[in-house]
Structure 1
Amino acid sequence: MQRIRSVFFYILLLLLIPVSTTGQRKPAAPSYNILFIAVDDLRPELGAYGKSYMHTPHIDQLARTGRVFLNHYVNVPTCGASRYALLTGRLPQTPAALANEAFETFTAGEPRKAQPESFAALFRRNGYTTVGIGKISHAPDGKVYGYNAPVSDKWELPNSWDAFYMDAGKWGTGWNAFFGYAGGTNRQGMKNEVFPYEEKDVPDTAYPDGLTARLAVQQLSALKKQGKPFLLAVGFFKPHLPFTAPKKYWDLYEEAALPLSASPAIPADVNGKSLHNSNEFNQYKMGIEKPSLKTPVSDAYARKLRHAYFAAVSYVDAQVGQVLDALVETGLDKNTIVVLWGDHGWHLGDERVWGKHTLSEYSLRSPLIIRVPGMPAAGSSSGRIVQSVDIYPTLLELAKLAPADTLDGKSLYPALMRRLGKPEPSVAYSYFNRGISIRTGRYRLTKYYRKEMPVIELYDYSADPNETRNQAAQQPSVVKQLLPLIENKKTSIQQYW
């Protein structure tokens, strides 16, 4: 017991020491290009993560030549805030950093400051050409405007990009494209009188991600000609709702044979306030069934929805493949770091939820694959617990650049560029719904700052891998050991609760 306690407090000590940059050496000349690929609402339900029923050959090939992080966790389970933490390398400090409007609140319209607004801005200051395509921050085209409003000229990240592109096609605006259906209609234009999925016998470019892939291929060719190091960030929409994809990707799956959730019930000894009634999903008014915590959908409809989601995943996999193929065709793969990152997970009926926005493993765990040219043990996976804020310092160390300020993450350089061994102890932090959650190698401990009981949840993934029971009452000694990691965390957000 004493040894366990020592390990946990050693972890705590490491996490509470700021990563100070004072006195670091002057940044060296850039060496690698960077291709960063963000995928919206992507669960780690991929062939590379051991799901043999999934058709994801292109992401799987990236995994075979890179490093799969099996236990990557986002810091906030909602799109804008997750991306804000990733791009700034900082854990949330205030409730505004937990909202989709985080970029609008903190960076949009701001002048250039001493501290770069994102890792893209830092690379730009160090001689990289930075190009964004699609959904990198929160908005699909990087600009601040409402779903039904005209496109504005206000950028979410005004100091990060040399160029930013979005082909909205027949949909006209980024938000219309984001919620678009084949033919040019969209959710908001149809007043939500739409299905949460669509299967059409159309080419890949009939949906927005096909246009994004085409833009990315064009940009790789242009960036090769310029002869400067670059950071190209490409953001794909699918499998975000609506689950739309060309018919050929639906045809990859036999619906009746698809697996259902391994955790279809609300976990035992958990208050419903920790979950939600799938309101984002239920905005799609033509959905055949309306899930809630009280009324789960039928198995048949669950398979229909999972079929739709899997088709959307296979569609985006094909778009990722186009970009990776272009990287090889241009010869840029020999000197380009590739990062594929999912901005959070998504409950596919797990714990009776259809959506994200929880502090559950299903919402917080997402894919992270990194490939570095010439990396040792390529194709091996890492079981280390990592978090999205680790990506910023990792890219800087790989590029031999110094951060401009303190970052909250830890570089994954050792897990990428040294021979793999036993993962060192580490912790991932996540925040949402008036709660703070930590993930260790075996446990997840969550504390909610609310009236509804219980406010402490503990999951033991060694005994309960599908997160079916809160074991806080059964394992009080583990709660006592882990709780200081929450109560003494670096972030000050708790003071607002």
Structure 2
Amino acid sequence: MRKKYLLLYTCLLVTALHINAQCKQRKRPNVLFICIDDLRRELGVYGSEVITPNIDGLAAEGSLFLHHYAQVPTSGASRACMLTGCLPKNKNDLSNEACKIRLSSKAEGDEPETLFHQLKRNGYYTVGIGKISHYADGYLYGYSKPVSQKLELPYSWSEMLFDAGKWGTGWNAFFGYSDGSNRQSRSKEVKPYECADVPDDGYPDGLTANLAVSKLKELLNREQPFCLAVGFFKPHLPFAAPQKYWDMYDEKKLLLSPIPDLPDGCSKLGFHNSDEFNGYLLGEEKASLNQRVSDAYARKLRHAYYACISYVDAQVGKLLDVLRDTGEFDNTIIVLWGDHGWHLGDHRIWGKHTLYETALSSALIIKAPMMKKGVKNERIVNSVDIYPTLMDLCGVQCPKRLDGNSLIELLNDPKDVDWKDVSYSYFNNAVSVRVPKYRLIQYWHDNDSVLELYQYNKDTFERKDISKNKSKIVKSLLPILKEGCMNTAF
């Protein structure tokens, strides 16, 4: 009889432990990770004139980071840093092909390839939709080639999805126009913008939002915790958006760049002639370091960029509405991240690919259960910090090799005295370090190096290189800059 009761007790105990484990799993927060391409800190909540009610509302529910910086000012490399939590280690890590070179052909090892792989290994169902790494739909193939079956991130996803619609492939959609054509098929004989009287799904991001809404509803009915990553294309070139988003703005009243010229005393080594932008061959004017584009054209382009942001804001709103309507908003970690900034005529550049504030600073919002709401965080943070932050928020062990630091303390205490306010960024033959008052940039050229220094508490817009007049400051920052090069090939 005792054996019978003991066996019954053991069965009940095992059942209870199993149920308890299931309950704990269900209580783990879900994750919605939103990647937005080329989104600089150009949101209403950042003080911009752009109209973004949905993203502004998200910021009111969590932490808005006012000084978030990308580690590389180009999409593929910036995303590789965010995904792996690691600073660039060599020149390949500065390429748009960084994930392909570093991750795509490797066998699965003990170290997770990305933060999404680590979540997947720890019980999360991971779904990617759209551009999360560099390739537009997550599969490796050239701009004008057929879609392949080889994933850029082979171990990160339970599912990788995309709806290319009338464009046929991810890359065609990425560079798509409303008639189903794209930059490649038209041999670059296209404008860098388009306004078309079409619904939201008349452009690819509307299709991405529809697919993500459908998948989100499905995932919410699963008992397993999930991480849904959604990558929107806009405001990346071409600046194409439905007319209703263009109609939100009076173009003649839009502000022009406060820094339309090169900084006084700069070396010019870190500047370029906006080749990506000028590759749209039907643009009315070409960008050049020699002179500004006209004010009228600058406003046209700003209008187009703003319309794209408002368009993406509406798509983000559709996802947030699902969470609110299902009562899951409070149990969901939401990260909204721009992969780097973009010069809208700033320093005469239309594009990214510089180590200046405009190209490196981008949007970052994190909302998490049980964290403070409406925090405007002034601390300097990095894209590589997102990986350890998500692991902490999800209760998942963090790999030891990461260069980033968890932001979890800053989510509740922006004045955390232990936080180190420093950001390193890299491009071509140069390294930048950003601290609260200054940015020091070192360019290597012809077996020599050139330094530039900018002071933000007096010159927010990098109007003048002051390195020659502030030798003591340069001397104090050089050791900090060198720390950012210790484990790299720079």
TM-score (norm 1): 0.91
* Aligned counterpart for 1:35 among listed residues 10, 32, 36: 32
- Which residue of structure 1 lines up, in the alignment, with residue 21 of structure 2? none
Q: Given the superposition, is the C-alpha separation of residues 331 and 28 from structure 1 closer, same or farther in structure 2, using an over 3 Å criterion?
A: closer
Kept after mapping to 1: 8 A contact 2:442/2:449: no
- Which residue of structure 1 lines up, in the alignment, with residue 171 of structure 2? 175
- The answer as to 2:154 corresponding to 1:158 is yes
1:33-55 deviations in Å (ceiling 9; x for gaps): 1110000000101111012x211
* Aligned counterpart for 2:411 among listed residues 391, 410, 416: 416
Q: How does 1:72-471 map to 2 (within 5 A)?
A: 72-376=68-372, 378-418=373-413, 424-451=419-446, 455-471=450-466
Q: Given the superposition, is the C-alpha separation of residues 103 and 424 from structure 1 closer, same or farther in structure 2, using an over 3 Å criterion?
A: closer
Displacement, 1:418? 4.0
Q: Given the superposition, is the C-alpha separation of residues 491 and 242 from structure 1 closer, same or farther in structure 2, using an over 3 Å criterion?
A: farther
Distance 1:431 1:403 in 2: 25
Displacement, 1:451? 3.0
Task: Tell me the amino acid that sits aligned with residue 242 of structure 2.
Answer: P
Kept after mapping to 2: 8 A contact 1:44/1:366: yes
Kept after mapping to 1: 8 A contact 2:85/2:403: yes
1:115-172 deviations in Å (ceiling 9; x for gaps): 0000000000000000000000001110111101111111110000000111000000
| Partner secondary structure for residue 104 of structure 2 | coil
How many residues were matched structurally?
A: 467
| Partner secondary structure for residue 402 of structure 2 | coil
Kept after mapping to 2: 8 A contact 1:443/1:461: yes
Task: Tell me the amino acid that sits aligned with residue 434 of structure 2.
Answer: R
1:304-352 deviations in Å (ceiling 9; x for gaps): 1000100011101100111111111222212110000000000000000
Kept after mapping to 1: 8 A contact 2:26/2:223: no
Kept after mapping to 2: 8 A contact 1:35/1:232: yes
Displacement, 1:246? 0.5
Q: Given the superposition, is the C-alpha separation of residues 190 and 400 from structure 1 closer, same or farther in structure 2, using an over 3 Å criterion?
A: same
Kept after mapping to 2: 8 A contact 1:195/1:242: yes
Displacement, 1:226? 1.3
State which drifts further: 419-428 or 310-319: 419-428
- The answer as to 2:488 corresponding to 1:489 is no
Displacement, 1:437? 0.4
Task: Tell me the amino acid that sits aligned with residue 357 of structure 2.
Answer: E
Task: Tell me the amino acid that sits aligned with residue 354 of structure 1.
Answer: W
Kept after mapping to 1: 8 A contact 2:25/2:225: no
Deviating above 6 A after TM superposition, structure 1's stretches of 4 or more consecutive aligned residues are 27-30
Kept after mapping to 1: 8 A contact 2:26/2:225: no
State which drifts further: 454-463 or 79-88: 454-463
- Which residue of structure 2 lines up, in the alignment, with residue 47 of structure 1? 44
Distance 2:288 2:418 in 1: 39
Task: Tell me the amino acid that sits aligned with residue 105 of structure 2.
Answer: G
Distance 2:202 2:415 in 1: 43
Distance 2:25 2:435 in 1: 35
Task: Tell me the amino acid that sits aligned with residue 86 of structure 1.
Answer: M
Displacement, 1:491? 4.5
Displacement, 1:224? 1.0
State which drifts further: 341-350 or 449-458: 449-458
Structure number with larger C-alpha Rg: 2
Kept after mapping to 2: 8 A contact 1:108/1:156: yes
Distance 1:333 1:37 in 2: 15
Distance 1:124 1:280 in 2: 36
Kept after mapping to 1: 8 A contact 2:258/2:346: yes
| Partner secondary structure for residue 306 of structure 1 | helix
Q: How does 1:50-61 map to 2 (within 5 A)?
A: 50-51=47-48, 53-61=49-57
Gaps of 5+ in 2: 1-23
Kept after mapping to 2: 8 A contact 1:91/1:491: no
Distance 1:84 1:56 in 2: 27
Distance 2:146 2:291 in 1: 38
* Aligned counterpart for 1:64 among listed residues 60, 65, 71: 60
- Which residue of structure 2 lines up, in the alignment, with residue 5 of structure 1? none
| Partner secondary structure for residue 151 of structure 1 | coil
Distance 2:178 2:86 in 1: 38
- The answer as to 2:471 corresponding to 1:476 is yes
Distance 1:28 1:404 in 2: 21
